[in-house]
Structure 1
Amino acid sequence: MYGIARSTISRAIGEIRPLLAMRGFTVPDHPGVRLRTLADVFAYAEAAGIRLRIDGAETQVRRPKAGRPGRRAFVSGKKKQNTIKTTTISDGQGRLLWSGADRPGRMHDQTAMRTEGTAEQFRLHPKVTAEVDEGYRGLANEFPDQISAPPKEPKGDAPLGEQYAWREMRRRQSSERICVEHANAELRQWRPLQRYTGRREDYAETHRAIASLVSDRSARRATRRKPSTELVLARQAAC
């Protein structure tokens, strides 16, 4: 329609995508500051006293060609599809702080985080705490004072009172962690992260580019919801 060749569009995307991927993630209430690495996220969480929420997600990708080495590494044991697994970190309000650790779908959530250096960050920042799901129980056992995982299900012959207590504890833990699920759902609104049909080698860069845009949008939305100082003072005076 506009007389532009497909190669021109592809070249433009190839130039813009790495720029977006390198932008990093917006710090809530500080738009000029960006979080680019996992170390930045933990330093910010320790300084601001934020309890992190960590969760994994999988995106379906194209199946590697037959006979290619490492083909089975992308077959997810959970989804039974060829996927790439990523890890998302948010704060208690669901604002995206970091998303990365792209690993083949066959790798366990906890292993993906460990290979990214998460355990070392928890050792370096002993005041940082986090909420995780069942897939990170090993990390929760290693750092019981910092990481909270869902309680273990009682045995089938356990008393009813113990079973009810377990359900209530699990419900409370899930409600504390639901905000990171919302952050993952916001990423899934973008079609490339629903099912990625491009080259798998470009997925990590594409994911970071989209995540940086989502981070900016969630930060702006939180700023619009935040009442101004004058409005707060007026409400207090009216009361």
Structure 2
Amino acid sequence: MIRVVGIRTRAAIIRSRRITGLTPDVIAELVAKIDPLWHERHQAVLASRPRSRAVGTGAKHKLVFVDRLMAALVHLRHGATHDMVACWFGVDRSTIKRAIGEVRPLLAERGCTVAPDIQLTTFAEVVDHLGPRGQTGIIDGTEVRVRRPAAGRKGQKKFISGKNKQNAVKSVVVTNARGRLLFCSPAEPASCANITHAWKLGLVKLPADGPAVEILADAGYQGLGAQTGGRVVTPPYRKFKKNTPEWYEEMHGRQLKEHSSRRILVKHCIGHLKNWRSLARHHGRRDT
């Protein structure tokens, strides 16, 4: 007989941040916001296909939405296999696979909550959020290792990172001056340069046309400062290649240190994101 996780077990999972990576208040907010969307999509799927039975008949769900959310969080946080999560929740592997596949897109579409009434899902919303408040944004790219494409497959080399020489996908992370996560972009193959990824997100057009906002970036975005009217701030360009004067070496090093000390918060944010095993190394499909 299949046994679904009990109320006490579910409560213990929700209370433990080590298991889910989230506090009980955040989990309660996710359930309140995503549960109606999940039911709406489920009913839309049932209504869209031809049926030989009336709606409401047939097999019932073995996992309620809260358990489906917990299963997805455990899988994303610890990188546990579907078989392991299925044994824990007392259901079949296919049930866990289907539950994670349904919940993960809903989590991705939710974006980043920076206030009870403010959710940021696009880079344009981030610029509109930072500009009127006169805040500073910090941007950086991060890579997630993925499985190597099959030999002989078309486009196999596009996932190879020029920096780490590994198969990976790349995302752009934006935080505020306090290191609070504001935006994480959709993944691109790791062969895509940082500045190219920024162009696709509209990093050049939005700061120039939108409100005044300062965005700190590393040397990978060199050149965007002139294209955005100085709103994208990159490390100072080194003018001397040979026979560098001692006074210039000291000044340039001081400027680099000052710039990196302001940008270090985005590195801390990325390191915190890497605590989720699926963001450190993803073993699933590269398009998810």
TM-score normalized with structure 2 length: 0.67
Higher strand share: 1
CA contact (8 A) 1:126 1:146 kept: no
Contact 2:128 2:211 in 1 (8 A): no
Partner residue of 1:113 out of 198, 220, 229: 198
Cross-structure match for 1:46: 131
Match of 1:165 among 222, 233, 251: 251
Partner amino acid for 2:99?
Answer: A
State the structure with more CA Rg.
2
Q: Which runs of structure 2 are paired with 1:135-214 in the superposition (5 Å)?
A: 135-153=220-238, 154-202=240-288
Q: Is the 8 A contact 2:127 2:211 kept in 1?
A: no
Q: How many residues align?
A: 200
Aligned to 1:14: 101
Structure 1 CA distance for aligned equivalents of residues 118 and 229 of structure 2: 31
1:61 maps to 146
Aligned pair 1:75/2:160, yes or no? yes
Shift of 1:152: 2.0
Counterpart CA distance in 1 for 2:260 and 2:152 is 42
**1:33, distance to aligned residue in structure 2 (A):** 1.3
Q: Using CA pairs below 8 Å that are at least 6 residues apart, which structure has the higher relative contact order?
A: 1
Offset at residue 144 of structure 1 (A): 4.5
* Contiguous gaps of at least 5 residues in structure 2: 1-86
Query: Are 1:24 and 2:117 counterparts?
Result: no
- Write the mapping of 1:86-125 to structure 2, written as runs, cut at 5 A: 86-125=171-210
Equivalent position SS for 1:56: strand
Q: Which amino acid aligns with 1:184?
A: I
Q: Deviations over 1:13-43 (max 9, x none)?
A: 111111111111112xx22210111111011
Aligned equivalents of 2:215 and 2:230: distance in 1? Answer: 10
- Cα contact 1:101–1:113 (8 A) shared by 2: no
**Residue 193 of structure 2 aligns to which amino acid in structure 1?**
H
Q: CA RMSD in A?
A: 1.3
Deviation (angstroms), 1:6: 0.5
Give CA deviations for 1:110-141 in whole Å, capped at 9, x if unaligned: 10110122211122225111110000002123
Residue 195 of structure 1, CA deviation: 0.8
Any idea what SS the aligned residue of 2:187 has? strand
3-state SS of 1:170 partner: helix
* Structure 1 stretches lacking a partner, 5+ long: 203-239
**Equivalent position SS for 2:100:** helix
TM, length-normalised to structure 1: 0.80
Cα separation, 2, equivalents of 1:54 and 1:181 = 10
* Structure 1 residue 66, shift from structure 2 partner: 1.5
* SS of residue paired to 2:158: helix
Report the residue type matching 1:129 in the other structure.
E
